[in-house]
Structure 1
Amino acid sequence: MENSTQPDKIIEIDLPKVAKNGLWITIVTLIGLLVVDGLINQGLSFTFSIWNVLLFVGGYVVLIVLHELFHLLGFRVFGKVPWKKMIVGMNLKLGIAYATTDVPMTNRAIRKALLLPFWTTGVVPAIIGLMNGNGIWLGLAAFLIGGAAGDFAMYKELKKLPDDWLVKDDPELPKLYLFKPDRNIQ
């Protein structure tokens, strides 16, 4: 087994490009959800008020936190990473929330962990909003789905590689280090 710490491949995410894509995903998702809601519920029961703005902002903060916590849950469930080896936080300089670990996971496991928050904090609020005709939930869903643009970008790049490759997350940057499965990277 090779012991070199040099990765076989590095995936680095271009944050300005991801932010632009995230904005477009948010806009398209919001329009799509509003159209579907209009068809299902014959109109949207949403009024503009300070109270609704506060509910939206508070819900957004809660869902961002939950988004990162669902990454951690994904690390645990799919990657078998011990809780004590996980970190969640905010990088104010980059303007991003993050969840990370220094424990390598298989490509298959990290892809599942990347998409778990999309389903739980994006799709589930969209379903709730459509079921209730609630614009706040629909808006939150659109923002959280658009906010998963970085996860989608990483997933897209990881999907090009075999499931058994090992992936190590960079603790500070949106960057992944990939190693062939026969490597010892501990």
Structure 2
Amino acid sequence: MANDSFEKDIETSKELPPKLDIPILKYFWQSNPLFTSNKNSIPRFLRRIKVLENFSDNELRLFSKALHLRQFADGEVIFKQTDIGVGFYFIYSGRVDIIVENDQTVDDTNDSKVNHVVSLDKMDYFGELALLQQQSIRNATAIARESCQLLGIFKPDLENLINTNPTIATKLLQAVSIITANRLFSVTNEVRRLKYKIKQLELESAKSNE
């Protein structure tokens, strides 16, 4: 795994990648559902993202001006566990693996044990806590697969939206809050399921020892 990550480079240099630049007429032409050749365009992509469904077409256009499109090579590290989070990402193409490195070592080489958590595909999103927390620390590592493309929005972009387009900023923060709540709900259900399974195993063990 690489020593540095895309977000670490941003945090160090304070320079963001280039923003999207889609002229207004081109944006609305590409977003038109009557033109099937535009099905892979960024405007059509944004319209299909469920957490952005409350955005109007013009709000999505304005929101897109705050986004950055970047290509990642297969195996490139987007951010590493314990990095300071700076961006929230939509997967425009390809795949991203989310992994967690345990603190415990597995052998005498002091290498951390790596656990694969989930693979995310096109139209998935990740990294949302970076927009909600100050000095947010990444709790997992994100690695690009299959030469993926990501649409990212960073803290400076959100701050600019708050000043210039507060309605769009509010809708974005609402979307991020929904994502966070849904993830928390999933984790809570998983913890409940595991507790039930442990309880069943304890009961089975007690019966076998009678």
What TM-score does the superposition give when structure 1 sets the normalisation length? 0.30
Larger radius of gyration between Structure 1 and Structure 2: 2
Q: Answer 1 or 2: which has greater helix percent.
A: 1
Q: Answer 1 or 2: which has greater strand percent.
A: 2
Bigger RCO (CA 8 Å, 6+ sep) = 1
What TM-score does the superposition give when structure 2 sets the normalisation length? 0.27
